[in-house]
Chains A and B, each alone.
Chain A
Amino acid sequence: MNTHDSSLLGSYPISGKFGKYGGKYIPETLAPAVEELESAYEKYKNEPDFRKELSYYLTEYAGRPTPLYFAKNLTKHVDGAKIYLKREDLLHGGAHKTNNTLGQALLARKMGKKRIIAETGAGQHGVGTAIACAVLGLSAEIFMGAKDYERQKLNVFRMELLGAKVYPVESGSKTLKDAINEAIRDWIANVKTTYYLIGSVVGPHPYPMMVRDFQSVIGKEIKQQTLEIEGTMPNAVVACVGGGSNAIGSFYPFLDNSDVVLYGVEAGGKGIKSGKHSASLAAGSEGILHGMFTRLLQDDCGQVIETHSISAGLDYPGVGPEHAMLKELKRARYATCTDQEAIEGFLALSRSEGIIPALEPSHAISYAMKLAEVMKKDDIIVVTLSGRGDKDVEIVRDYLNKNKNSRKKKTKHAK
């Protein structure tokens, strides 16, 4: 890794690894399934029929390409570099998740697997999976931590309306990581008939690569649209990182353009020092979870610890292995943003542009606003607005009621 040639960054993973990260640390029963998936993906990913079908659904059904919108009011408000928003919130389903669920569900259908299982945290990936399965005629069963199941009842109902079965998971901390554990257990038991549709760039190889590829449509469009509108590449691309799929999707097409600075923004929760956050890149250590070697939030003994974020979609103790590599190589910079700062970003965008963002990309917006202040006025920042905020309005209302007197804090900058 030290002798790494950064002009070849786009060629990772190599043998299933992003440098030393990634791999497939899985029970033996899954080894054949993961091999089958890998060869099916290699077979279909460049096959014209598959590309055509995916492109059809992305365009005609899900609404791609999504706009790249110049947020002139927000830019004026900040009085700094130009802020553009990549509008993944306008994609069918309300978040970037649909790029991946359509891709994987089509692949599952090609592989002859009719039963799809998936995990979900707040419910966005569960909804995305239910949508893809409904339109493609597949059956969807979704595992959701019992805590999330309770606090995201509307999303549970949405999934059910779309024809999916949703199972509350009572084990462990009853959140996203336990939903993934339970989905893996189900997959082990039903490996012959079932396709596991992972929602982020996590899990054993080939998932981190495959989900990245399906999400890379975001970055490809950013590149093309920035060139069309501004006649140049962006100076910076900013995206939030939980597992990291919208960020990798935004970054990947720029990896070999070293003058485009890439910023991933993790959930700083109540502050890194409080221990109540989800910033595995900023504060984690190396370890193995969910089939991958990556950076984890864990204790000294290797037990994975409970995380916190105001946004359920970032509330995950691990991170995609490609991000762990990009951090190590310093190709991408990673910052954190607290709950409070995310709320400020959420409010600023709602008021200045009439766009209510999801709490996840509110982290990216908040960070981009700080970044714009210190960049030149003709610099271009693209923020991936990975989802819309309808799902979060109750959480924001409760937060604002509780924190009426809380004072504003400063963002921690990327190193």
Chain B
Amino acid sequence: MQNRITKKFSELAKKGERALICYVVAGYPDTGTSKQVINALVKGGADIIEVGIPFSDPIADGPTIQAASNTALRKGMTPEKALHLVRSVRKRHPNLPLLAMTYSNILVRAGMEKFMSQSKQCGLDGFILPDMPVEEADTYLLTASKLNLATVFLVSPNTADARLHKIVASTSGFLYVVSVYGITGARKSFQKYTLDTISAVKQVAGAKVPVAVGFGISRPAHAKSMIAAGAEAVIVGSAVINKISDSSGNNMLQDLQNFAQSMKKACKSK
């Protein structure tokens, strides 16, 4: 099943590069700026964009993404407006792999089939739902496969082997390795178990689907060590949001672009 995500990974593999995946919250810092944020990240070198559709109760997210989600919701962001954003990003970047990251209730409330087919029409390539475990995913998987949408599942450092096989069989696009015991949020450093998790997951998933690592990654050095352990992509979320909230008006987009550039550089080095 060829789509923009798999295409991107095979292109990068040919060049010997790893993918930089950047997460943004739709509607943060505001609806208009969201699109410019994505443009800046792509300009800096982001290969894949995850558009976060804000949810009132994001249990897998730390303070940074919680606060950004709240701001976006307060400013009127809705799932429908987030899909509008996707549509306009798609126009500007016809080949950019675009995924939505959100919580299951957003899809369930709108109607799984309805929301996913709207998403497809707007140019989305897949979904990441951190509160949708494989056991509950029958309808989700069936709908996604009808629409040729990727379903990215997450694995964690404590995922047992049998379960890992099940998840690898269900995931498409890539496999999202949660780097730590914890929620999202920029970290200063990682422990050895993170790298062990990556190599262990890579052994099971390697031949079937690319392995991306996320949660806590905020520096080029992090990306380098994850890649050295076998990751084919690194996901940066809270660090992007921190850049937005820390930067003052005019420099923000340039800062973001520079940040993406520094992270992408780490994804290129051998």
**In residues 156-197 of chain A, which contact B (Cβ within 8 Å)?**
171-172, 177-178, 181, 184-185, 188-192
Contact among A188, A190, A285, A289 with B57 in the assembled complex (CB-CB below 8 Å): A289
State whether the Cβ of A288 lies closer than 8 Å to any Cβ in chain B.
yes
Contact among A185, A191, A286, A304 with B108 in the assembled complex (CB-CB below 8 Å): A286
Instruction: Please give, as numbers and ranges, the residues of chain A lying within 8 Å of B153 by CB-CB distance.
Output: 28
State whether the Cβ of A291 lies closer than 8 Å to any Cβ in chain B.
yes
Instruction: Please give, as numbers and ranges, the residues of chain A lying within 8 Å of B103 by CB-CB distance.
Output: 288
Residue contact A301 to B133, C-beta cutoff 8 Å: no
Q: List the 4 closest pairs (A to B, CB-CB), nearest first.
A: A302-B109, A29-B156, A189-B182, A303-B56
Residue contact A25 to B136, C-beta cutoff 8 Å: yes
Residue contact A181 to B59, C-beta cutoff 8 Å: yes
User: Smallest distance from the beta carbon of B200 to chain A beta carbons, Å?
Assistant: 15
Chain B interface, number of residues (Cβ within 8 angstroms): 42
Residue contact A27 to B131, C-beta cutoff 8 Å: yes
Instruction: Please give, as numbers and ranges, the residues of chain A lying within 8 Å of B135 by CB-CB distance.
Output: 23-24
User: Smallest distance from the beta carbon of A23 to chain B beta carbons, Å?
Assistant: 5
Instruction: Please give, as numbers and ranges, the residues of chain A lying within 8 Å of B105 by CB-CB distance.
Output: 287-289, 296, 298, 302, 304
Residue contact A303 to B181, C-beta cutoff 8 Å: no
Instruction: Please give, as numbers and ranges, the residues of chain A lying within 8 Å of B106 by CB-CB distance.
Output: 301-302
State whether the Cβ of B71 lies closer than 8 Å to any Cβ in chain A.
no
Specify which of A27, A178, A184, A191 lies most central, judged by the most chain B CB atoms within 10 Å of its CB: A27
Q: How far is the CA of A27 from the CA of B159 in the complex (A)?
A: 11
Residue contact A181 to B57, C-beta cutoff 8 Å: yes
State whether the Cβ of A10 lies closer than 8 Å to any Cβ in chain B.
no
Contact with B along A1-43 (1 / 0, CB 8 A): 0000000000000000000000111111101110000000000
State whether the Cβ of B55 lies closer than 8 Å to any Cβ in chain A.
yes
Contact among B58, B108, B110, B183 with A288 in the assembled complex (CB-CB below 8 Å): B108
State whether the Cβ of A300 lies closer than 8 Å to any Cβ in chain B.
yes
Residue contact A184 to B59, C-beta cutoff 8 Å: yes
State whether the Cβ of B26 lies closer than 8 Å to any Cβ in chain A.
no
Q: How far is the CA of A31 from the CA of B131 in the complex (A)?
A: 10
A188-B183, A192-B181 given; A300·B133 CB < 8 A: no
Instruction: Please give, as numbers and ranges, the residues of chain B lying within 8 Å of A23 by CB-CB distance.
Output: 135-136
Residue contact A31 to B59, C-beta cutoff 8 Å: no
Contact with A along B189-203 (1 / 0, CB 8 A): 000000000000000
**In residues 103-149 of chain B, which contact A (Cβ within 8 Å)?**
103-110, 130-133, 135-136
User: Smallest distance from the beta carbon of A295 to chain B beta carbons, Å?
Assistant: 12
Residue contact B78 to A27, C-beta cutoff 8 Å: no
A288-B103, A288-B104 given; A25·B57 CB < 8 A: no
**In residues 50-81 of chain B, which contact A (Cβ within 8 Å)?**
55-60, 62-63, 66, 70, 73, 78-80
Contact among B62, B130, B136 with A27 in the assembled complex (CB-CB below 8 Å): B130
Residue contact A29 to B181, C-beta cutoff 8 Å: yes
**Minimum CB distance partner of A170 in chain B:** B63
User: Smallest distance from the beta carbon of B196 to chain A beta carbons, Å?
Assistant: 15
